[in-house]
A and B are shown apart, each in its own frame.
Chain A
Amino acid sequence: DAGITQSPRHKVTETGTPVTLRCHQTENHRYMYWYRQDPGHGLRLIHYSYGVKDTDKGEVSDGYSVSRSKTEDFLLTLESATSSQTSVYFCAISTRLNSPLHFGNGTRLTVT
């Protein structure tokens, strides 16, 4: 959808291990976002990027870091996964500040 690929689509990992999720876009959009979706909480913004090497925190950034070394790739890293980070993670992109977001199909992460 909208040239966004998230990988992996599913992952099971153990508590305490590092995990990196990848978002790759082919649209050359400037803005990229990471959201998590949990029952009862809707979608919550973790981190976002407004350009290469330019990132900032969202409302639930604790325990997560991001990197964007190329326009097309936005990586989300869980340095030491916890069970509370079991969730579905969505990447989104947009062209401008006031343009609609387009989402990938998500990564389902389970931390045991």
Chain B
Amino acid sequence: DAKTTQPTSMDCAEGRAANLPCNHSTISGNEYVYWYRQIHSQGPQYIIHGLKNNETNEMASLIITEDRKSSTLILPHATLRDTAVYYCIVRADGYGGSQGNLIFGKGTKLSVKP
């Protein structure tokens, strides 16, 4: 079972920041927080990941609380092409294959509206 909890759906106005929350209260010390998204009929797309520090790349920012029990993915200027299902996943470092299996929950369906 997924070890994260996300809202089922969210709306965001085009051009505004989209803030997607995720709860992972049982996260272990060696588990990273990963974010992926899936646009309809395409494969999941990696967005960003982090351990405990905030991270930023060309797609998004990841804010992780100090106790690491929750995080927020921020898309700074959402566009219509950001409409997708966003998955928050925790994954242990140093493991691949089955041990490092990405357990995708139901995710958050983000709808960006004009």
Contacts and interface: CB of A to CB of B under 8 A. Distances in A.
Given A31-B96, A48-B96, A100-B49, A59 B101 contact: yes
B10 interface: no
B46 A102 contact: yes
Contacts of A59: 98, 101
Q: A-side binding surface: helix, strand, loop or mixed?
A: strand
B43 A42 contact: no
Given A31-B96, A48-B96, A42 B106 contact: yes
A59 B1 CA distance: 12
A50 B102 contact: no
A41 to B, nearest CB: 9
A106 B98 contact: no
Contacts of B93: 98
Kindly state the interface size class of chain A when it binds its partner: 20 to 34
B44 interface: yes
A59 B95 CA distance: 15
Interface string B28-61: 0000101000000111111001000000000000
B25 to A, nearest CB: 20
Contacts, number: 64
A4 B42 CA distance: 12
A58 B98 contact: yes
A98 B97 contact: no
B94 interface: yes
B100 interface: yes
Given A104-B43, A106-B43, A58 B105 contact: no
B13 interface: no
Contacts of B97: 31, 33, 45, 48, 50, 56, 58
Interface of B: 2, 32, 34, 41-46, 49, 93-98, 100-106
15 contacts: A1-B42, A1-B45, A33-B97, A42-B103, A42-B106, A45-B97, A48-B97, A50-B96, A57-B98, A58-B98, A98-B96, A101-B102, A103-B45, A105-B41, A106-B41
